[in-house]
Structure 1
Amino acid sequence: MTDRISVKGLRARGRHGVLAAERELGQEFVVDATLFLDTAAAAAGDDLTRTVHYGELAQDLVKVVEGEPVNLIETLAQRLADVCLAREQVLSAEVSVHKPAAPIPLPFDDVIVTITRSRA
């Protein structure tokens, strides 16, 4: 059985992108992360140590977004997935990185890269 814990719409400012202005000015990124794990033991014992503390996860994800800049949001998504998979209970993770202020000279709602990663 696989359960899910999701954090959606997590916002942080980062300096990711290939353009100099993106690196200099930065912009808001939005992260959605869904973790796949078995929460039965945590629920049975009402034990936080047997699941993922989503508050701590959110803080760790924001640190990545606010941290070292990368050119591609695909790379950023991979780094975020690595943070999710670093928690021993997590079997796999789906991470979406939204870049709503991407430098596209046309009307658009959002740019989103979504990846799914599992333990090797």
Structure 2
Amino acid sequence: MKPGADRIELRGLKVRGYHGVFDFERRTGQDFVIDAVLELDLRPAAASDDVNDTVHYGELAERLAAVVSGEPVNLIETLAARLAEVCLADARVAAATVTVHKPQAPIPLEFADVAVVVRRTREESA
């Protein structure tokens, strides 16, 4: 299968975390919004109609949320990389693109969004 042909997309997962370079970010925390796109072959699941033949997106959401609400990091780049590794933990996933949105980033100007996007492939994580 050509990577990227089939995808599972989880968008807008909102989780409270304590990430950032400033003390107040780690003390008070803030909401992060996560988008995850997994590239994998969905033909086995489509043929069997069995959740065991695909990535269970509910369980994936719980694993991602545990990372976001867990150990603090300074940079959302680090957080995004850790989340991508969670996505690639399932051997069926050929590649994962993770976006970490930080809607309450400490910027003293009005802004629509701050986000970091990482894409990792199975080959890169091996």
Would the TM-score normalized by the shorter structure come out above 0.5?
Answer: yes
1:6 corresponds in structure 2 to 9
Using the aligned pairs only, state the percent identity: 62
5+ residue gaps, structure 1: none
Q: Deviations over 1:44-81 (max 9, x none)?
A: 01121111000000000000000000000000000000
Match of 1:44 among 47, 50, 56: 47
Which letter does structure 1 place at the counterpart of 2:94? L
Q: Which residue of 2 aligns with 1:69?
A: 72
2:35 to 32, 37, 41: 32
**Residue of structure 1 equivalent to 2:86:** 83
Is contact 1:50–1:89 with CA below 8 Å preserved after alignment?
no
The count of aligned residue pairs is: 120
Deviating above 3 A after TM superposition, structure 1's stretches of 4 or more consecutive aligned residues are none
What is the aligned-residue RMSD (CA, Å)? 0.6
Any conservation in 2 of the 1:16–1:71 contact (CA below 8 Å)?
Answer: yes
Q: What is the Cα deviation at residue 21 of structure 1?
A: 0.3
Specify the SS of the correspondent of 1:5.
Answer: strand
Unpaired runs of 5+ residues, structure 2, are none
